[in-house]
Amino acid sequence: MKRNLFLGLLALTAVIAVSWYFDRDWKLSRSSVQPSAANQPSVSVAEEKNPEKEVGEKVVVKNDSPASESKEALKAMAAEIISRPIMASAPLAEIDRKRAEGKIKEMIDLIKIDYDNIYPWYDLGAYRRVIGDFEGAAEAWAFGTLIRPKDYIGYQNLGDLYGFYVKDYPKSEENYFKSIQNNPQNIQAYLDLAIIYESVYKEKSDQIESILLRGLMANPDNLRLKSALENYYSKLE
């Protein structure tokens, strides 16, 4: 019945592809260094990403400071985060490692000038993730959520990091939901959660349909969500 209703909706609705975009070259993450893959074509729920592909250590980042922290406290926190040594652990070509390390230094210099500029924090986290410093990436993006608690990109990046690299699925889910709360048009968050539920966080596999339907309720004409849901229904037949 649900599948019939969905197909009826698919036939009646207009074919409009909706995607979110960022207006700077800093789109580095999944949002992080491919950063926002929001513009990539839709695939089946489990084919777009393979959560078992990359394995990282357990990362725990304290992010319990209120957004109302004083400027001095935030500045001190920012200084501590950017003082983190650059330690590459990912298997990168020498040229790629040097480029990432150079970019990290550039972002640190920008943050020293203005810790409240969110964009260098996005890139700092992205390049930290590239070199294999997942804890450093999490710290950078978590700080971004402190200075921009209503922003969705930092939470999207954290959801991606915890879900596809660190393998902390409850933490990934928590951050994706925060991203969706701040921006219900963040299509990638719905798709990523569906992939995680299907592929690795299988105790939540019964929520694949609900997360995709939630995405369609907020974005009724999105072809990527429709394709993912139709693919999910086809597997139930």
Q: How far apart are CA 190 and CA 3, in angstroms?
A: 19
We report the CATH number of the domain holding residue 172 as: 1.25.40.10
pLDDT in the model for residue 19: 29
Residue 190 and residue 180 in contact, taking contact as beta carbons nearer than 8 Å: yes
- Structure-token pair, residue 164: 């596809």
pLDDT in the model for residue 150: 97
Dihedral of CA atoms 31, 28, 48, 197 in degrees, nearest 10, equals -30
Q: How far apart are CA 183 and CA 177, in angstroms?
A: 10
pLDDT in the model for residue 134: 97
Q: How far apart are CA 49 and CA 52, in angstroms?
A: 9
Per the document, the length of the chain is: 237
pLDDT in the model for residue 89: 94
CA 16 vs CA 36, 43, 51, 107, 225: distances in Å: 20, 17, 29, 37, 12
- Structure-token pair, residue 135: 């804890």
- Structure-token pair, residue 211: 């997360």
The residues that bridge with 127 in the sheet, in sequence order, are none
Range of the domain at 8: 2-236
pLDDT in the model for residue 237: 79
Could you list the mean pLDDT of each consecutive 10-residue stretch along the chain, which spans 237 residues?
42 32 33 33 44 49 53 96 95 96 98 97 98 97 97 98 98 98 98 97 96 98 97 92
User: Which residue has tokens 């019945």?
Assistant: 1
For 57, the enclosing helix (H) or strand (E) is: none
Count: domains in the chain? 1
- Structure-token pair, residue 172: 């990934």
Does the model's pTM come out above 0.85? no
pLDDT in the model for residue 50: 59
Q: Show the CA angle centred on residue 171, arms to residues 134 and 56, nearest 5°.
A: 30
